[in-house]
Amino acid sequence: MLYNRNINIYRTMKKLNYLIIAFALLIVSGNVSAQQSSMYIKKTVTGDFNQVVEKVVSDFKAVRFGVITNIDMDKTLEEKLDVDLKPYKILGICNPGFAYKAMQAEPNIGVFLPCKVIIKQLEGNQVEVVSSNPSELMKILKNKELDNLAKEVTSDIKSVIENL
Per-residue pLDDT, averaged over 145-159, amounts to: 95
User: Mean per-residue pLDDT for 67-81?
Assistant: 95
Q: The domain spanning residue 123 has which CATH number?
A: 3.30.310.70
Residue 133 covered by a domain: yes
pLDDT of residue 45: 96
Q: Does 149 fall in a domain?
A: yes
Helical axes 144-162 vs 49-62, angle rounded to 10°: 130
Highest mean pLDDT among 8-12, 29-33, 36-40, 87-91: 87-91
- Tell whether 66 is covered by a domain: yes
As for how many domains the chain has, the answer is 1
Residue 55 pLDDT level (bands cut at 50, 70, 90): very high
Q: Is 102 left (phi over 0), alpha (psi -120 to 50) or beta?
A: alpha
Q: Does 23 map to a domain?
A: no
Give the tens place of pLDDT for each residue, 4-15.
Answer: 544 544 454 444
What whole-number distance in Å separates Cα of residue 128 and Cα of residue 35?
Answer: 14
pLDDT at 63 over 60: yes
- The confidence score (pLDDT) of residue 38 equals 87
The number of beta carbons lying within 10 Å of the beta carbon of residue 69 is: 11
What's the pTM? Answer: 0.76
User: What residues make up the domain containing 49?
Assistant: 35-162
Are the C-beta atoms of 150 and 135 separated by less than 8 Å? yes
DSSP-derived secondary structure for 100-134: HHHHHH-TTGGGG-SEEEEEEE-STTEEEEEEE-H
Tell me whether residue 29 is in a domain: no
Is 50's pLDDT higher than 70?
yes
**Mind listing the pLDDT tens digit for each residue in 76-125?**
999 999 999 999 999 999 999 999 999 999 999 999 999 999 999 999 99
DSSP 3-state of 34 = helix
- Is residue 51 situated within a structural domain? yes
Q: How many CA atoms lie within 13 A of 18 on its CB side?
A: 16
The answer to whether residue 117 sits within a structural domain is yes
Instruction: Give the Å distances, CA to CA, from 27 to 10, 41, 108, 129.
Output: 26, 18, 30, 16
Please report the sign of the dihedral spanned by the C-alpha atoms of residue 96, residue 66, residue 94, residue 37: positive
Determine, yes or no, domain membership for 52.
yes
